Structure formats: structure tokens, C-alpha cells
Chain A
Amino acid sequence: MNAAISARKMLGRRPPFQKGVAIGAGSLVILLVLSAGLGYWNTVQLRENDAWVSHTDEVLDALESVLSTMQDAETGQRGYLITGEDQYLEPYNVALVAVEKNIQRVKHLTEDNPRQQARIPLLEEQISAKLKVEDRTITLRKKDAEAARQIVLTGEGKKIMEAIRAQVQEMQQEERGLLVARQRQSRHSFLVAVLTNLFTVVLGLGMVGTMVYVLQRHLAERQKAGRSLARLAAIVESSDDAILSKGLDGIIQTWNAGAQRLLGYRAEEVIGQPITLLLPPERMQEEQQIVDRLLGGQRVEHLETVRVTKDGGRVEVSVTVSPLKGADGQIIGASKIIHDITERKRAEEELRRLKDELEYRVELRTAELAASNGELEAFSYTVSHDLRAPLRHITSFVALLDEEAQASLNEQCRHYMQNISEAAQRMGHLIDDLLTFSRIGRAAMTVRPVGLRRLVDEARTELASETDGRAIDWQIGPLPEVSGDPTLLRSVMVNLLSNAIKYTRHRDAARIDVGCREEAGEVVCFVRDNGAGFDMKFADKLFGVFQRLHRAEDFDGTGIGLASVRRAVQRHGGRTWAEGELARGATFYFSLPLRRNGV
């Protein structure tokens, strides 16, 4: 059963699991795409930074070129001024063109930097001023060498040249500052790239790890479920009961070994056949009833019916049918467990037979008992009627004889007559007590709630004549209500109290205790006195009919009282017993079963 539940649970988890895998894979793909994008962006960033660094180098180079071509022009100018030879004018003229080109290059390279652009007009102005001075000196040297020398001596050209150098240096300074910033930017970008890569790699590894873990667990569960299914299949296959399943169309789909044993068909013979194959003709409507109940979502449990085996035999079975549900909860068929109850039916039949036999015997015995009870009753009736009459005649005629012959009889004769009369009277008491005893055994019982306290009070009232003039210390404990026949229980109480009163007769301070306690499903009551008591050796004789432990001269009585008590208590299903000590007192107990329903 547990295996079935866990297998179902595991299989039922499949859709959420697939969703989980899809989400995991999707996340991984997104992460990879993001990571690639980030890597690309970082590379572009790095390349850009590198480009800026080489751009700075170019600007610096261009600025350097401006300065060097200016120096070339100056060198050419000086050579001409000193020698006056035209060959020196040639490098001067080349330098002029190069200067212009280099300035244009600087201008172009620093287009992205407004601050450098702002510096360029001043530089151009200074260069043009310098070139103007040089051009004037060269023009003067062609006519007058001294005048040209005078101009050089003013140092104006040198001053301008220094200003140009300062300007170029300022611009170079700017570029170098930019270079530092760009190199810092480049390092930063590199760091970002490394960190983001690291992060995505760690994240990716984590996700892959999680997925591997989940997949492995799922695989383990699938394996477990597979094992559970295999176990279930083994249980089904090895079951003593026939276990089979069928579709809603009533076609048999599975068939276990138990089914083969019980119904005779092999699986391959019967799978694909209609289930009605197994139904006896007179029970064909049963299948429809079963299907109706199944479609109502109900099970059919322990339907006791009959099925037909392959060889056409009948087998008594108990059938339990449960709906089979598909993954979507729709009923797609039914499973049937068919249990062979032939043996049980036989046992039931045997039991019924035994019960009938027993009932018959009880009837017989009851009849016998009734007959013997009837005989007993007839016997008592005879005793009551016919045995008493002669006794009465004896006493009566002795009395009449006494009346008639009193004068002529001597003392001895009168004593004999007295004995005859007393003997007859005692016989009368014995018969009366015996009849009472017999009546206690035979009387119909009317069981109803009886308050023991009330019984005790009534018994004491009834026995009032016996306690007249005596000082008895009555100790009546709390007494419960019991279930029993009021008349019988009353006779029990009267007999026990009467005994206690009788046997304490010689005590100056007589004491009688009555009490009750509940123990082990019964009520135990006792009557205790401090009277004559008895020797425990004879305890078992106390409750016998006509058994007496005292001489008639000491305590009168017929010895029937305690026998009646025992009889009455036994008729209630209780017990009687006694404890005593000679000359110290006695305790008489009786127990009654605790009231049960219907008793």
C-alpha cells in the first residue's frame, strides 16, 4: 500500500519537474547570451581604449613634427643669412610646406578635443609670425646683409620660437594628461570585464550544478518509483486473490497468477476478452450495476457472488471493485480483486449446521429441564398437600386426646404426648422451610433495580419482633442499588439479618455491621456480627441444606436459611461465603454481578 502511494506520488510530480528543467535551461541560455553580450561590450570598450592611447601617441608625434619642421626652417634661414648661398633656401622652403602639413595634421587629430582646438589658432599665429620674420630677413639679405643681421640681433625671432615651443609643450602636456586618464579608463574596463566574466562563470556553474543535482535526484526518484512499481507488480502477481483490471468497455486488460489459479484462464487467453466471460448467465445484470456504481465514483466492496471458471465450474467469491483513474482524474476502468470464499462459505455452512444442532440440543435439554422442573413442582405440591395433612392430624388428635384423657394420664404419658406433638410440629417447620427453599430455586425471577438500603430497612422491620428488648448496635454502611429479583434479595437479607440477630442473642453488646464494596465487576455485600461465630473448619458446611453447626437447644432453626441465601444469590449469578471465629463472631458475604445492559 505504501509503495503504491509513493509510486503514485513520484509519478504525479512529473509535470512540475519538466517545467523546472525548462526554466533552468532557459535561465542558463539567457545567462550565456548575457555573458556573451557583456564580453563583446567589454572587448569593444578595451579596443576603444587602446585606440585612444595610440591616438594620443599620434597627436604627440604630430606636435613634435610641427616643432622639428619649424627648427628645420630656422636652420635653413640661418644658413642662408650666413652664407647668402641659395642652396640653403631649399631646406627652408621644404620645411615651410612640412610645417603647414603638420599643423593641418594636428588640427585634424585634435578635432575631438575643443580645448586643443582652441590652442591651435594661437600656435598658427605664432608660427606665421615666426615665418614672417624669417621671410623678411631672407628678403633683406638679398640686398643688404648687415640690415638682415641687425634684425636677427634684435632677438625677435628667437623669442617667437620659444613661445611656439612653449605652446607645443602645453599641448603635449594636455595629451599626456589625457593619455594617463585613458590608460586608467582602460584598466578599469579590463577589471570590469574580468569581474563580470568571473561572475557569470560562477553563476553559470551554480546553475549547472543545481540542475545536475535536481536531475540526479529526479533520476533517483524515478528509479525508486520504478522499484516500487516493480514491487507492486510482484505483490499483485504473487497475491492469492485474483487481481485483474478492465477498461470502461468491459474488456479485461490485466490478469494475475491468482486469477489464473482461481478462474482457470491464462492471461493470454483472457486479456482482450469481455469481463462477462466470467459471469454466470443469471448474474449478467450484476456487471452493469457494478459499472454504474463505479461511474458514480463508488467502490464495490466484498460483493459476495458467483463466478464461472474456464471449465464451466462455479466458484463462490467476494469481489471488490475500485475505479481506476487516468492522470487527468477521469475514470478509465476498474480494478477487481476476487477472493475465493468457498472455504469460508463451507465453514459458515458448517457453523450454521452446528448452531442448528446446538439449538436443537438446547431445545431438547430445555424440554427435559422443563419436564424435571414439572416433576419437582408436582413433588413439592404433594409434599405441601399430602405430607402436611398427616402431621396436622397427629398434632390435632394428640391435642384432642390430651383434652379428653388429661385426668387419667400420668406425668410420663403426658411427656410422651408432648414429645409426639413437638416432633410433628418440627416436621411441619421442616416441610415449610423445605418448600420455601424449593420455591426460591423455582420461582420466576423478575430482575429490576433494587436498593439494598431499602431491603435492609424492610428486613429489619420484618424482624422487629426478634429484636424486641435487645440492645443491638446496627452499623449500616452506604449500600448501592443492584439489579435483581426483589423478593429473592429480600429473603437473602432477611435470612442473613435473622441469623445475625439470632447468634448474638447471648451478647450484652451485640453489634451487627452491614456493608458493601465494589470489586472486579461485582458488588460484594456482607453482614458481620459479634455473636457465637463458627469454626472455619466447617465453613463449607454452612450453606448446605439442613446443615447446622449449633445444637437446637442453643439456637433454634432448621438449617435451611443459609441454603436459601446461597440458592437465591446463585440464581443472580453471585457467590456466597463466610468467615468466622468461634465465640468471636461471623461475617457472611454475598456477591452480585454489576448491572449490565439487558441483565
Chain B
Amino acid sequence: MMTADLKRILLAEDDPKDVELALKALGKHNLANAVQVVRDGAEALDYLFRRGAYTTRPNGPPAVVLLDIKMPKVDGIEVLRQIRADTDLCLLPVVILTSSREERDLLESYRLGTNAYVVKPVEFQAFVDAVKELGLFWAVINEPPSSLAENHGG
């Protein structure tokens, strides 16, 4: 029961084409069914803090959050800031997945404590490989701190 929750990937991405491509890439490795897609930063925060439409979602944080930076309403940087500011979610793995190679985005993201920063490759195969590796690494290989699930569950 808890294990299933932990395998979930939260994908915050406003562009439907990027969502489609990401799901396609994850689907190639049977990770697609474990993906929860949110379309902007506000929705991402609602999901994480079980608010609004997500008040009744199952307990427990996702295994990893894949965050785009440029999103409507609340941008990825702000989502990251709120995750790190929260006592329960502060240890949650977050990967910035973005088109931006801008130095200031990189610096700001790392300063706020992102676990990784990945620039979406233009070439499709490279993109597929990158998303696959991210999914595999964070949802399957990486071992999260046990306190994360327990605290959040309470």
C-alpha cells in the first residue's frame, strides 16, 4: 500500500505536448501509470499539500517531483521554495526539468535545494533517455528517507 504511493511520480508541466512526450517516454519503461500530472504550480502545491481538488487523494508524498520552471500562476521555483520551506516535505526529491539553460535559473534552483537540474534535450531520443533515467532513478533506485513517508502520512 505505502510502496505503491512511493513509486508515484508528480509531473508538473503546463505544455500538453511536453506532457504527452514525457508520458510517452515513461510509458516505454512501464512507468507511465505511476505518473500524476499537474498543469501548473498552483495545482502542484494543491496536490502536495492535499488541498482543493486533491484533499481526498491517498496519503503520502510522491517518490519524486519533476518540475518545469515556466508555468502559469505559480512557477516551478516558487513550488520548490514552498516544498523546502515545509517541515514535512523539505526532504522530498525534486528534479527541475526545463528548457532553460539560463545561469540564473540553475543557480536559483540549486540555491533552493533542488536535487537535480535537467535541460530537456531537443533531440527526441535523448529526451526519452533522460526522462527514463530520471523515472528509473528516482522512482525505483533511489531510497528516500523513511521519515518522509511517515511524517507525511501522519
CB within 8 Å of B: which residues of A? 380-381, 384-386, 388-389, 391-393, 395-400, 424-425, 428, 432, 435, 439, 443
Most buried by B among A384, A391, A397: A384
In the complex, the chain B residue whose C-beta lies closest to that of A395 is B124
Contact of A395 among B24, B103, B122 (CB under 8 A): B122
A424 and B127 CA atoms in complex are apart in Å by: 15
B100–A399 CB distance below 8 A: no
In the complex, the chain A residue whose C-beta lies closest to that of B127 is A396
| Contact digits for B38-56, partner A, Cβ 8 Å, 1 yes 0 no | 0000000000000000000
B99–A388 CB distance below 8 A: yes
Q: Which of B115-140 contact A (CB under 8 A)?
A: 120-125, 127
Known contacts A388-B122, A392-B120, A399-B124; decide if A381 and B99 are in contact (CB<8 Å). Answer: no
B101–A432 CB distance below 8 A: yes
Interface status of B21 (Cβ within 8 A of chain A): yes
Contact of A385 among B17, B21, B100, B121 (CB under 8 A): B100
Find chain B residues with CB under 8 A from A435 CB. 101
Q: Which A-B residue pairs are the 6 nearest by beta carbons?
A: A399-B124, A428-B122, A396-B124, A388-B99, A393-B17, A385-B99
Known contacts A395-B124, A396-B127, A425-B122; decide if A389 and B21 are in contact (CB<8 Å). Answer: no
Find chain A residues with CB under 8 A from B127 CB. 392, 396
A384 and B100 CA atoms in complex are apart in Å by: 5
A381–B21 CB distance below 8 A: no
Most buried by A among B24, B98, B121, B124: B124
In the complex, the chain B residue whose C-beta lies closest to that of A392 is B122
Find chain B residues with CB under 8 A from A384 CB. 99-102
A506 and B13 CA atoms in complex are apart in Å by: 47
In the complex, the chain A residue whose C-beta lies closest to that of B119 is A388
Interface status of B86 (Cβ within 8 A of chain A): no
In the complex, the chain B residue whose C-beta lies closest to that of A388 is B99
B122–A443 CB distance below 8 A: no
B99–A439 CB distance below 8 A: no
CB within 8 Å of A: which residues of B? 15, 17-18, 21, 24, 69-70, 98-103, 120-125, 127
B122–A385 CB distance below 8 A: no
User: Could you show 29 A-B contacts with beta carbons less than 8 Å apart?
Assistant: A384-B99, A384-B100, A385-B70, A385-B102, A386-B70, A386-B99, A388-B99, A389-B17, A389-B18, A389-B120, A392-B21, A392-B99, A392-B120, A392-B122, A392-B127, A393-B17, A393-B18, A395-B123, A396-B21, A396-B124, A396-B127, A397-B124, A400-B24, A400-B124, A424-B122, A425-B122, A425-B123, A428-B122, A439-B103
A492 and B55 CA atoms in complex are apart in Å by: 55
Find chain A residues with CB under 8 A from B24 CB. 400
Find chain A residues with CB under 8 A from B124 CB. 392, 395-400
In the complex, the chain A residue whose C-beta lies closest to that of B21 is A396
Find chain B residues with CB under 8 A from A391 CB. 122
B99–A389 CB distance below 8 A: yes
Find chain A residues with CB under 8 A from B123 CB. 395, 425, 428
A432 and B101 CA atoms in complex are apart in Å by: 9
A435 and B101 CA atoms in complex are apart in Å by: 9
Contact of B15 among A389, A398, A428, A439 (CB under 8 A): A389
B103–A443 CB distance below 8 A: yes
Find chain B residues with CB under 8 A from A381 CB. 100, 102
Find chain B residues with CB under 8 A from A443 CB. 103
Find chain A residues with CB under 8 A from B69 CB. 385
Find chain A residues with CB under 8 A from B102 CB. 380-381, 384-385
- A247 CB to closest chain B CB, in angstroms? 76
Using A386-B99, A396-B17 as known contacts, list a sample of 20 further A-B pairs with CB atoms less than 8 Å apart, ordered by residue number in A.
A381-B102, A384-B102, A385-B98, A385-B99, A388-B99, A389-B18, A389-B120, A392-B120, A392-B124, A393-B18, A393-B21, A395-B122, A397-B17, A397-B124, A399-B124, A400-B24, A424-B122, A425-B123, A428-B122, A435-B101
In the complex, the chain A residue whose C-beta lies closest to that of B123 is A395
- A366 CB to closest chain B CB, in angstroms? 20
Find chain A residues with CB under 8 A from B15 CB. 389
Most buried by A among B101, B102, B122, B125: B122
Find chain A residues with CB under 8 A from B120 CB. 388-389, 392
A182 and B97 CA atoms in complex are apart in Å by: 150
A392 and B123 CA atoms in complex are apart in Å by: 6
A381 and B106 CA atoms in complex are apart in Å by: 12
A386 and B121 CA atoms in complex are apart in Å by: 14
In the complex, the chain B residue whose C-beta lies closest to that of A443 is B103
- B98 CB to closest chain A CB, in angstroms? 8
- B136 CB to closest chain A CB, in angstroms? 20
In the complex, the chain A residue whose C-beta lies closest to that of B103 is A439
A398 and B99 CA atoms in complex are apart in Å by: 19
A490 and B127 CA atoms in complex are apart in Å by: 29
A392 and B103 CA atoms in complex are apart in Å by: 20
Find chain B residues with CB under 8 A from A386 CB. 70, 99
In the complex, the chain B residue whose C-beta lies closest to that of A389 is B99
A255 and B75 CA atoms in complex are apart in Å by: 83
Find chain B residues with CB under 8 A from A380 CB. 102
Find chain A residues with CB under 8 A from B101 CB. 384, 432, 435
- A269 CB to closest chain B CB, in angstroms? 77
Find chain B residues with CB under 8 A from A393 CB. 17-18, 21
B125–A399 CB distance below 8 A: yes
In the complex, the chain A residue whose C-beta lies closest to that of B25 is A396
Find chain B residues with CB under 8 A from A399 CB. 124-125
A313 and B121 CA atoms in complex are apart in Å by: 81
Find chain B residues with CB under 8 A from A389 CB. 15, 17-18, 99, 120
A385 and B102 CA atoms in complex are apart in Å by: 9
A272 and B21 CA atoms in complex are apart in Å by: 105
A467 and B15 CA atoms in complex are apart in Å by: 41
A557 and B125 CA atoms in complex are apart in Å by: 23
- B68 CB to closest chain A CB, in angstroms? 9
Find chain B residues with CB under 8 A from A432 CB. 101
In the complex, the chain A residue whose C-beta lies closest to that of B70 is A385
A388 and B101 CA atoms in complex are apart in Å by: 10
